[in-house]
Structure 1
C-alpha cells in the first residue's frame, strides 16, 4: 500500500512539474510573486497580509510565498534567513548581491528557503518549501520551478518600488 501511495505521488509530482500545470500567486502587500503547482490548496491569509501558504493535495508538502520589510543591516538579515531554526540542519547556503538560498533537513523533512532583496533594498520577497526527504527526487523539479519563478514587484506596502 505504501508503494502505491509513493507511486501516485511521483506521478502527481511529475505532472505538476511540467509547463501549464502552474499558476502564479502575487502578494498584494509586498509584490512577492512565484508559481505554485495547480491543485495545491491556498491557506487562509495572515492578518498582516504578508503572503500565503499552499499545501499539496496529499497534505504532505507546502510552499509559502511571502514578503517582509528589510529592517536590519544586510549581514544580520542574511544571518537570520540562513540560520538553522529549531531542529534544523542547514546543508546548503549561497548568496549573491541581492539573493539568499538556504536548504537542509528538519527530521525526515527537507526545507528550502530563497529570498530576493527588491525595491531598492527595502523588501525581501521569499519562498519556503517543505517536503518529505524520502521524496527528494520527486520534489526537485517543483523546487527548481518555484525558486526560479520568484520575483519581486510593486505592492501596496512597497511605496514607489517598481
Structure 2
C-alpha cells in the first residue's frame, strides 16, 4: 500500500519540495517542487523565475539591505495594494516577514529573510509563489516546506 501511495504522490507531483535551486549573484536558495521550466536569467543576475504548466510561478531573488526590514515590508505591502491585491496574511519577526493574499484569482505568498550571503554581506532573500486559486489544494500544503528552505547557500 505504501508503494501505491508513494507512486501516486510522485506521479501527481504532490510530495512536496524536491529540487534545490541556488540562484543569482546573491546565492539565494530554496527547495522547489519538480516540474518547472526555468525563466531566462535577468541581466543583473539577482535571481530566477520558475514556471509550472498549471499556471503557478515561483520567483527567487536577492537584494542588498537598503533600509530597515520594516520599511521593506511596508513598501512590498504598498506594491501589492497598489496593484489591487488583497492581503489576507501579514506576519513578521526580527529578520523576516511574510505577506500573502489574493491578486484577482491568483494566490500569492511572499517571504523575505534578512541574513548574510556566503560572502558575509548583509542581504535579503526573497521567495514569491503565485498560483491560480484553482490550484490551491496542490500548492497550499507545499508553501511551509518551500518557505523553510529559503536562505543563502550552500556555502
* TM-score greater than 0.5 by the shorter chain: yes
Change in 2 beyond 3 A, CA 1:45/1:93: same
Aligned partners of 1:14 and 1:105: how far apart in 2?
29
Change in 2 beyond 3 A, CA 1:99/1:14: farther
The structure with more strand, counted as a fraction of residues: 2
- 1:120-160 CA deviation, whole Å, 9 max, x = no partner? 78211011000011321221122222112111247xxxxxx
Normalising by structure 1, report the TM-score.
0.78
Shift of 1:38: 1.5
Match of 1:3 in 2: none
Runs of 4+ in structure 1 over 6 Å off = 11-14
Match of 2:115 in 1: 118
Number of residues of Structure 1 aligned to a counterpart in Structure 2 = 143
Normalising by structure 2, report the TM-score.
0.81
Q: Which 5+ residue runs of structure 2 have no aligned equivalent?
A: 1-7
1:55 aligns with 2:51: yes
Match of 2:89 in 1: 92
Q: Tell me the C-alpha RMSD between the 2 structures.
A: 2.4
Q: Which 5+ residue runs of structure 1 have no aligned equivalent?
A: 1-10, 155-161
